[in-house]
A and B are shown apart, each in its own frame.
Chain A
Amino acid sequence: MSHWRRLVGEPLVHFLVAGAAIFAVLSWQGSPDDPASRSIHLTREDQARLAVNFAQVMGRPPTDSELAALTGQWLREEVLYREALRLGLDQGDAVVRKRLAQKMDVIAASAADAETPSNEALDQWLNNHADRFAQDMALTFDQLYFTSRGRAVVAKTLLGGGADWIKVGDPVSLPARFDSASRAAVSAEMGAEFARALEDLTPGGGWQGPVESALGWHLVRLRAKEPGVLPPLAAIRGRVEDDWRAETGRERQDAAYRTLREAYRVRIDR
């Protein structure tokens, strides 16, 4: 009994399920090794696969002794897995059923996972989903804060007379300078109405306003306003590839299911 109990946490148990999934794949691929036979052949390719798996987890290839241990473990699992199939342990278990179905999804998506999309494909992806990747408008400006509109108006006159700008505003815990701040960031820090007002200003060297924000009144020197552009693929390749992969995987799952589903006749009693 006790060794059964120990097995619950053992990789073996999980491997039974994994094995069933792999069985599905291998039989579909026409693997030379029949899980029902009592002959096991561990090829060099099988061993390379174990090494790759190890390297993915540990970030380095296994040493010879580690590889020997992996091989031994694999062999042990393979024997127990085949015996488990012989005992029919994969039958009638809701979890096995669910996991196998999930594995089918993974198989369908995994082609997208393993594939390295071409630059052309990603470039097209980028352009077709420009809204996901376009940068926000970038605003570069100086701002002076005032607790009332009246104080801002007076200050604007003083600035017109040559006053030092850094000494004119009311003190506040806001940066005086914003360099290429995204419209979203400005909106989060000063309120949406302020960000909207800035959009309508024309960049130049003079002080504009007063502009109202959620926090008070401001004079603004808008030094640059760069519209949101779509960055070139090279600058955001990783993000585009992640997005492509996630969505392509999902699409392939759906497509694979639709193909399989078409072969079934389903009757649901009402």
Chain B
Amino acid sequence: MWTLTARLLGCVALALLAGCDMTAGMGGGASEAARGDGTDTVKLAEYPERVFWGDTHLHTDNSIDAFGFGVRLGPEQALRFARGEEVTATTGTPAQLDRPLDFLVIADHSDELGATRRLYDAPRLLIRDATLRRWHDMMHEGPRQSQRAIAELITAAANDKLPAQLRDPDNQAKATEEIWTRHLETIDRFNEPGKFTALAGFEYTLMPDGNNLHRVVMFRDGSDRTGQVRPYPGIDSSAAGLWDYMEAYEKNTGGSVLAIPHNSNVSNGMMFELTEPGGGPMSAAYARRRARWEPVVEATQIKGDSEAHRFLSPNDEFASFGVAGWELGNLPLTRTSTPDMFGGNYVREALKRGLTIEALTGVNPYRFGLIGSTDSHTALATGDEDNFFGKHTGNEPNKDRAASPQNLGTSTGRFGWHYLAGGYAGVWARANTRAEIFDAMTRREVYSTTGPRVTVRMFGGFDFTDADFGGQGWVGAGYKRGVPMGGELADGGKAPVFMIEALKDPRGANLDRVQVIKGWTDAAGKAQEKVFDVTWSNPDKRAMTGGKVPAVGDTVDRARATYTNTIGAKQLRTLWRDPEYRAGQNAFYYVRVLEIPTPRWILFDAMRYKLKLPPEAMKEAVAQERAYSSPIWLVAKKAATTT
């Protein structure tokens, strides 16, 4: 009897303090292999020979905002869903991925971890702070009011005006400890080396004045190491503080950790500054730390795409994908964005700024790879347009979501239709384990897609030939005599040559074209960029005219939300040598692959719910989904490297 009572007491107390997941079984503990980093658990391929798909940025009911937005699914359901099982979404709809993911990082906000649930659960009588009491009431009133409460909470956080109660460090530390310990146990139980990888992580939510400087922090290690630390809270800290934490983690545990900046598009120019934070020239030491701890950046997700903006790239006809709505201002829309801020908001410009800073300091702070993620707050890592479960529980499938205002703050301008369906990370690794996935991120052999599982492969070198490229041994040649995406080539006075391949998503749309985006610093030290169309479908009928490849066409039936693969190609390959190479210039090259036009999620909604979308939404109802590779850098002899 005591055993039962003890367990009950433990669970009841935990449930109330920390939100113990009642559905989790206590038995069936994780195996030794599942608790570690996966080293020596599965056979490794000689080279990375397949892409592993995952999401590094998923929120569950442990996130302060996600819970307030209404989600009632926790890490366990999130993991079940990611590995392909059907779960019931918070709003009652059955949810399942078309194809399982290979890995998942649950990245709940470290700040006030579990706090909204504690506020929700607290007896009203004892909540004396007027604001907290109002939020408590709103959360109990219903989903819509709950979402409004969380919007207020995010704005308060952005303005540094959270009630003191919510920020009591002692209470928070205790709650965080309990949630984290339990969370690590859960992911170990789901981590199956070779089959499905569950990595530890959290989101660091730095947000001065509402300008988004968030990072996802991701660990390589098992719970023996990650259990020695707690997620680092940082809403009012600085990125340098986060790096100190990461450095201490590696030093104290012997483990490895990295950070992934995201949503630079709503940072109002602060994510990729030319200066150090707060002004003043960037020092080599600062640049080195940034490059060391942040090897990859999330270039696309539900809250918009951050690759390129037409203001910065006027000659790129495909720039400004997924910027509508998001380009208006910072995260809660409390401050508007002006064009002078765009340079620090978009990834391509950051890669160029990296070269500029390298020319001045000898170190490139922005030598990063690109991945995509969802940033879903529903515990459901959905990335497909026809299976979009919303940014948060308030916009899980329902007839109103596409046209509803979605402002986190009090200004106007963002609507449901501005959300993208979310992206995924493609990872070239030798096996599906924590260590292999993490190490691929570190060496930047990863890429970003806006959802479709397009295969993108790229090798850079100097002596690749048609014979190499045309034979089965091209991958081996790529690794032996060159570098894969994410790598660095030392300039040797010869134009670099690239082996590039794109394969369509086997369950998705054909491909329109493959482009190489080159950035470099010219003789005057000014950063430049150029987009090259390097191979495209139906070249016989689509001859380049005036430097432009004609549009691929459009098969989308707007009334039925369908398309046909009667245009485009299944596979696009090319061996491409930079025709504008100049010796001694620092440069980067990344690949952008475009699919043929397909319906966006709002068109599927319009069909399902028989809606008439507003005209401005209809303009965004069809899109060319895409993939961005990590760059390969050409490093001139004089410049030092970051590694």
Which chain A residues have a beta carbon within 8 Å of chain B's beta carbons?
A: 1, 4-5, 7-11, 13-18, 21-22, 25-26, 29, 45, 48-49, 52-53, 56-59, 89, 93-96, 99, 103, 106-107, 109-111, 113-114, 116, 147, 166-169, 171-176, 184, 188-192, 194, 213-216, 237-239, 241-242, 245-246, 249
Contacts and interface: CB of A to CB of B under 8 A. Distances in A.
Given A8-B132, A9-B165, A110-B8, 7 more contacts: A52-B6, A53-B10, A93-B123, A93-B125, A95-B122, A191-B507, A214-B506
Given A8-B126, A95-B123, A57 B29 contact: no
Contacts of A22: 5, 8-9, 12
A89 B506 contact: no
Interface stretch (B300-308, B469-477, B595-603): B469-477
Interface in B49-97: 49-50, 84
Interface string B159-176: 000000100100100000
B50 to A, nearest CB: 6
Contacts of A4: 126, 128
- The 4 A-B residue pairs with the shortest CB-CB distance in the complex, in nearest-first order: A238-B28, A14-B16, A214-B506, A245-B25
B457 interface: yes
Contacts of B504: 214-215
Which of B132, B177, B570 has the most A CB atoms < 10 Å from its CB?
Answer: B570
Interface residues of B, number: 69
A59 B181 contact: yes
B470 A171 contact: yes
Contacts of A1: 128
Chain A interface main SS type? helix
Nearest to B119: A8
B5 A239 contact: no
A115 to B, nearest CB: 9
B124 A188 contact: no
Which of B1, B126, B504 has the most A CB atoms < 10 Å from its CB?
Answer: B126
A14 B4 contact: no
A246 B80 CA distance: 13
Contacts of B31: 238
Contact of B16 (A17, A147, A174): A17
Interface of B: 1-17, 22-23, 25-31, 49-50, 84, 99-100, 118, 120-129, 132, 140, 165, 168, 171, 177-178, 181, 189, 227, 453, 455, 457, 469-472, 474-475, 501, 503-504, 506-507, 570-571, 573
A56 B22 contact: no
Contact of B8 (A13, A96, A107, A167): A107
A237 B120 CA distance: 37
A188 B573 contact: no
B7 to A, nearest CB: 5
Contacts of A99: 16, 121
Contact of A49 (B5, B99, B121, B126): B5
A136 B92 CA distance: 29
Given A9-B171, A109-B22, A17 B123 contact: yes
Nearest to B27: A241
B251 to A, nearest CB: 23
